[in-house]
Structure 1
Amino acid sequence: MSVVIVGAGQGGFQAAWSLRMEGYDGSITLIGDEPYLPYQRPPLSKGFLLGKQELESVTLRPEKFYSDQRIELRMGECVASIDRAARKVVLASGSSVPYDSLILATGARVRRLADREALYLRGRDDAAQLKDRLDRAESVAVIGGGFIGLEVAAAARMLGKEAAVVEIQPRLMQRVVAPVVSDFFRELHETHGVRLMLGSGDVPRADLTVAGVGVIPNVELALEAGLTADNGIVVDEHLRTADQNIFAIGDCSKHAQRGRLESVQNAVDQAKCAAANIAGKTQVYAAVPWFWTDQFDAKLQMAGLSGGADRVVLRGSPPKFSVFYFRGGKLIAIDSISRPADHMMARKLLAAGVEVSAEQAADENFALASLVNR
């Protein structure tokens, strides 16, 4: 038996490790197109840009870990195609690797601006180049008011640079948070001296321009192999593609019910689920999605998916508060700003599927834990 994993990011790494933890004893080959050992991306836009972490510290495990776990690494190699009939992946070098099960963890790439020169942040090389340029710049213009753009802007100000954020939408992080959360982070950035240009496409002159305008899932390999893709490789509840021997996880996959999610948690939990299924355990992917971003001294932690919410309720007040999202009277998501206990409780509430009323959510004297511990 052999498993090949294409993509050596956090999801690919977790899939390989989880296979061993599930008792899978066959061969595992982990193929990555970057020359580095698998690493975590979140610190690249946080601690690394601020000089609090070295680039080497983002490595997930030393090389010895892989040899001890009998995981064959093929770093710096690109998969050119998948031969589904012969069950093998063909590398750009011309060699091939056979598989019984294949996991696609191909991730996503940054969406690039066609009409403007800018730096982007996705991988280690991007981060190294951005930090070098940021250290030498006096002013930074950031295009995009999402997580990455705001984290870069915050880092720039904390390093003493002038910073401006250009966002075409009228509010920050508009796609994923309620207006009250957008307003809080607008005030936070303005208080720290970031110039916000909302509802605008005019980019000010600066020593350095950075763009954070979303990503594009890497589905080309799957499409060329005849698999179904629609803003992500389409998978079922077990994370299988149209080919029962091929799974897709992480940023490149589109779950039948949840759609495509971009987060470390999603990549890691989907990796665990796919590994369990390959190891012979029938497992449905049902993990509660969660996300986070650090900006200045505020941490936003999100649990669940707030899309389609028809009621929003606040618990607490700025600068430390939580936002509860309801749809049809049912709790669907919770955003917590500098209230980590609320976030942990949010994940428990959503996982348990218990009923929470808007009145209970808003009442800080009501113990939400009582709903889970019944």
Structure 2
Amino acid sequence: MSRVLIVGASAAGLAAAETLRQEGYGGTITLVGDEPHLPYDRPPLSKQLLAGRWQPGRLALRPEADLAALGLDLRLGVAASGLDPDARSVLMADGSRVTYDGLIVATGVRPRHLPGDGAHVLRTLDDALRLRDRLGPGRRLAVVGAGFLGAEAAAVARGLGTEVTLLEPAAVPLAHAVGEEAGRVLSGVHLEHGVDLRTGVVATEVTDGGVRLAGGGMVEADAVLVAVGSRPNTAWLEGSGLDLGDGLMCDEYSAAAPGVYGAGDVARWHNPLFGVAMRVEHRTNAAEQGRAAARNLLRPDARKPFAPVPYFWSDQYDTKIQAYGHLRDHDDVVVVDGELDKRRFMVAYRAGDRLSGILAVGMPPKAIRPWRQAVAQRTTWREALHNAGTGL
């Protein structure tokens, strides 16, 4: 294998390229990215960068010298537009073609939109800088969607003195992901900081003056952020013969086809640890899967299943939120440490008869780490609850 093509120059793609070199691969590595920027970190976009505490240069995933040392064929500012697996080539938006012996798809996701013009989204560095310019005292921001991204942006905007209206169609924000009790606690933090949180409302259109609601109501705002989820960037793979559903469908090795692997937010793969297919939009998983895909591509006869315990974190005001495992589709949730009303607690999640995840709010990292091991070991629910009193 003399040519590896990685489409997607963010955390997953860069991790794959670095791993190939670390594993001794000396062939050509072409790293393609649709943005003109060198690979950068995305989680700070809705936190430190949006708040103005960081400037863009601090987001770089690696110094330029380290990137140069990888000896990459780096092609930035041009998107992939098609894949011909028979010819083992990728068509680029500028009309050029890149051939490969092995391919890693790491094209991430793109934000969902609402009808109308003028809304902000928050996915890229340029998105964050444009929104940052619209925040500050005397400004009004409407945030559509009270998931983690919308909640983080709302918290930052309030910290900058912006009036914030947070719109959410569900009765309890994040209840589908973390359960109703934890969702209510996290919502209360926003209310205490002066956010106008409106639940059970549906935004239908963005206008010059704000957001139109189902039923004819209107939320006036100087700027609107739409944070209603994302779609995997798989349009360029249509017609390729690859299996596309909610992402690029991959097996337990992150393989989508012979010599083709998926990594990061775009990949929906079978995680044998939980026995389900999942697609994880978190920074840690992107880097881990990029490394795993590179190793499996490089050594097809010694492939290893990609079976991580997913991890994510969120900062909202002075509250630190951390989670390990697969929290969605849980069957039960129990507070195992701390108190909800003090916003310092841990909750455990059950799927079937197993511990499937743990969420910590306002707790030190060392308190949650043993629970990660318990999830990784597929601890039974009964055993997890029994051990909770002794710190596992």
| Length-normalised TM-score, structure 2 | 0.89
User: What's the CA shift for 1:336?
Assistant: 0.5
User: What's the CA shift for 1:206?
Assistant: 1.6
User: What's the CA shift for 1:136?
Assistant: 7.2
Q: Which moved more, 1:294-303 or 1:171-180?
A: 171-180
Matches within 5 A, 1:1-374: 1-115=2-116, 117-135=118-136, 138-201=139-202, 202=213, 204-241=219-256, 243-256=257-270, 257-280=276-299, 281-314=302-335, 315-317=337-339, 318-339=342-363, 340-355=365-380, 357=383, 359-360=385-386, 362-363=388-389, 366-368=390-392
Q: CA RMSD, aligned part only?
A: 1.6
* Unaligned runs of at least 5 residues, structure 2: 203-212, 271-275
**Could you give the per-residue CA deviations for residues 229-264 of structure 1, whole angstroms, max 9, x where no partner exists?**
0111111111111x2111111111111333222111
User: What's the CA shift for 1:27?
Assistant: 1.2
- Over 3 Å counting, the alpha-carbon distance change for 1:47 and 1:113 in structure 2 is same
Q: Which amino acid aligns with 2:322?
A: Q
Say whether the 8 Å CA contact 2:374–2:384 is kept in structure 1: no
Cα distance between partner residues in 2 of 1:361 and 1:294: 29
Say whether the 8 Å CA contact 1:23–1:279 is kept in structure 2: no
Say whether the 8 Å CA contact 1:145–1:165 is kept in structure 2: yes
Cα distance between partner residues in 1 of 2:328 and 2:131: 33
Q: Which amino acid aligns with 1:111?
A: R
- Over 3 Å counting, the alpha-carbon distance change for 1:324 and 1:277 in structure 2 is same
- Over 3 Å counting, the alpha-carbon distance change for 1:164 and 1:362 in structure 2 is farther
Kindly tell me the number of residue pairs found equivalent between the two proteins: 365
Q: Secondary structure at the match of 2:278?
A: coil
Cα distance between partner residues in 1 of 2:186 and 2:198: 14
Counterpart residue number, 1:372 = none
- Over 3 Å counting, the alpha-carbon distance change for 1:81 and 1:183 in structure 2 is same
Cα distance between partner residues in 1 of 2:114 and 2:183: 24
Greater per-residue strand proportion = 2
Q: Which amino acid aligns with 2:87?
A: A
Counterpart residue number, 1:371 = none
Cα distance between partner residues in 2 of 1:137 and 1:213: 25
User: What's the CA shift for 1:302?
Assistant: 1.1
Cα distance between partner residues in 1 of 2:288 and 2:347: 25
User: What's the CA shift for 1:362?
Assistant: 4.7
Cα distance between partner residues in 2 of 1:316 and 1:65: 44
Cα distance between partner residues in 2 of 1:52 and 1:360: 43
Q: Which amino acid aligns with 2:349?
A: Y
User: What's the CA shift for 1:96?
Assistant: 2.0
**Could you give the per-residue CA deviations for residues 58-110 of structure 1, whole angstroms, max 9, x where no partner exists?**
11112222221112211112222222222122222232222110011111100
User: What's the CA shift for 1:361?
Assistant: 5.4
Aligned-pair identity (%): 38
Q: Secondary structure at the match of 1:28?
A: strand
